[in-house]
Amino acid sequence: MKNLEKTQTDKTDAFISVMQKWLFRVFVLLVIVAVVFVGITLVNIMPVDSKDDTKITFVVDKGMGKSKVIDLLKENDLIKNALFAKLYVGVFERTTIYPGTYTLSKNMNLTDIFEILSSGKSLENEEIMITFIEGKTFPYYVQKISEEFGIKEEDIYKVINDEKYLKQLINDYWFVTDDILNKSLYYPLEGYIFPDTYSFRKMSTVEEIFKVFLDGMDNVLTKYKDKIENSGYSIHSLLTLASVVELEAVSAVDRTEVAGLFYNRLKDSIALGSDVTTYYGVRKDLSLKLEQVDIDSCNAYNTRGVCAVKGLPVGPICANSKASIDAVLNPANTDDYFFVADKNGKLYFAKDYEEHKRNIQKLINDGLWAE
């Protein structure tokens, strides 16, 4: 009986020993499989090239399935293994890929790529904030638009010089008139851009960008609509005068004074005699010195010299601030006809030419004359 019990015990011990060895082998195999799986996962999740940050534009078309998107990612060498990526997406069933244009690069890992594609933040939806400064001429805005949106300057000019486009603007905006079709204008929309900080879609077209500008101007001018209609001047003339005031004066008080002075000259058919119109007419930077040849230049903007325009220039010479627009619609009641600025920008007003000459001589004597 004892021998039988011993035999059964020996068999049990042997079975347990075999099971332990088998379980150990299974455990080792599972560890190996897990290590291999983790290794494969890490390898395929890692970036294709961690050192390559070159921006690649990747487009997901509407209705494109996940499998097709992954195949395109592989074709663009943005992922290492398409089959693994499909398995990855299959595990995370909640991954939704939205149509749109995205910026990807080879130094992004698989997780980052799918985060971007499932964020809905495509370039079409991405917004950027840009500040445009008043008192700048049209080429400044074209250059800034080109830099911020990656649009060639020549393509911008092509749009804003297109007569069909301009006529559409005339139809769309109450303050845009046939005046912008004048062939003597250097830039049809000079003075119609209202400078401010705006939010744009990063993928905006030229037309969409200028719609934002014109909508901004619309918001400002609508508040003055009654005054504009009762001013006796066209909106184009008012924007033109405001642009001259913008560059001739700095403070709000000086602007209303300069506006009132210019109205006096216009009423008496005296040329404005404004340096800034001469600069614009010869396309010269305000930091440079005016030469006599510039002063006598014959163009539709110059209000000085032998060819001085009698009245207002053909159009605005810069983008207006709200202060300058307000100044021409609420000018000072003044008897002045002349003004001069010292080298610090302070203005000195005069009722006649003799007083004006005395102001100039005093500035020279005091060492304040702007050479």
DSSP 50-95: TT----EEEEE-TT--HHHHHHHHHHTT-SS-HHHHHHHHHHSTT-
Assess whether 135 and 92 both reside in one domain.
no
Distance between CA atoms of residues 88 and 74, nearest Å: 14
* CATH number of the CATH domain containing 114: 3.30.1490.480
Final residue of a structural domain among 123, 143, 178: 123
357 in a domain, yes or no? Answer: no
Residues 110 and 65 in one domain: yes
pLDDT tens column, 27-82: 545 545 444 444 454 455 778 787 888 888 888 888 888 888 889 988 898 887 88
Q: Which domain holds residue 263?
A: 126-334
Query: Which DSSP letter does residue 43 get?
Result: H
Task: Supply 145's token pair.
Answer: 């638009």
Give backbone dihedrals phi and psi of 334, rounded to 5 degrees, phi first.
-135, 160
For position 57, what pLDDT does the model report? 86
- In this prediction, residue 189 carries a pLDDT of 98
Whether residue 151 is found in the same domain as residue 62: no
In a domain, 11, yes or no: no
Q: Is residue 365 part of a domain?
A: no
Q: Is residue 10 part of a domain?
A: no
100 and 216 inside one domain: no
Q: Which two tokens stand for residue 52?
A: 């390559």
Query: 240 and 328 share a domain?
Result: yes
Amino acid occupying residue 116? I
Element holding 230 (H helix, E strand): none
- List of residues 6+ apart from 222 with CB closer than 8 A: none
Residue 37's pLDDT is what? 45
Q: Domain count for the chain, please give it.
A: 2
Q: What integer pLDDT is reported at residue 33 of this predicted model? A: 46
- The domain boundary residue, chosen from 96, 123, 150: 123
pLDDT of residue 102: 86
Is there a domain that residue 184 lies in? yes
Q: Are residues 108 and 35 part of one domain?
A: yes
267 with 304, same domain? yes
Q: Per-residue pLDDT tens for 287-332? A: 899 999 999 999 999 999 999 998 999 999 999 999 999 999 999 9
Residue 351 lies in a domain: no
What string of DSSP letters covers 296-356? Answer: T--SSS--SSTT--SSS-SS-SSPPPHHHHHHHHS-------EEEE-TTS-EEEESSHHHH
Q: How far apart are CA 143 and CA 154, in angstroms?
A: 10
Of 99, 123, 147, which residue is a domain's last?
123
No. of H helices and E strands in the chain?
15, 6
State whether 108 and 135 are in the same domain.
no
Task: Tell me: do 109 and 182 sit in the same domain.
Answer: no
Is the alpha carbon torsion for 66, 71, 72, 73 positive or negative?
A: positive
pLDDT tens per residue across all 371 residues of the chain: 555 555 565 555 555 655 555 554 555 455 454 444 444 544 557 787 878 888 888 888 888 888 888 899 888 988 878 888 787 777 654 568 888 888 888 898 888 888 888 887 777 778 889 999 999 999 999 999 999 999 999 999 999 999 999 999 999 999 999 999 999 999 999 999 999 999 998 889 999 999 999 999 999 999 999 999 999 999 999 999 999 999 999 888 999 999 999 999 999 999 999 999 999 999 999 989 999 999 999 999 999 999 999 899 999 999 999 999 999 999 999 999 999 988 888 899 999 999 999 999 999 998 888 76
Asked whether 130 and 141 are in contact (CB, 8 A), the reply is: no
Distances in Å between the Cα of 349 and the Cα atoms of 112, 197, 233, 268, 277 are 65, 34, 25, 18, 19
Query: For residue 346, is it within any domain?
Result: no
Residue 44 lies in a domain: yes
Give the pair of three-digit tokens for residue 354. 């003799």
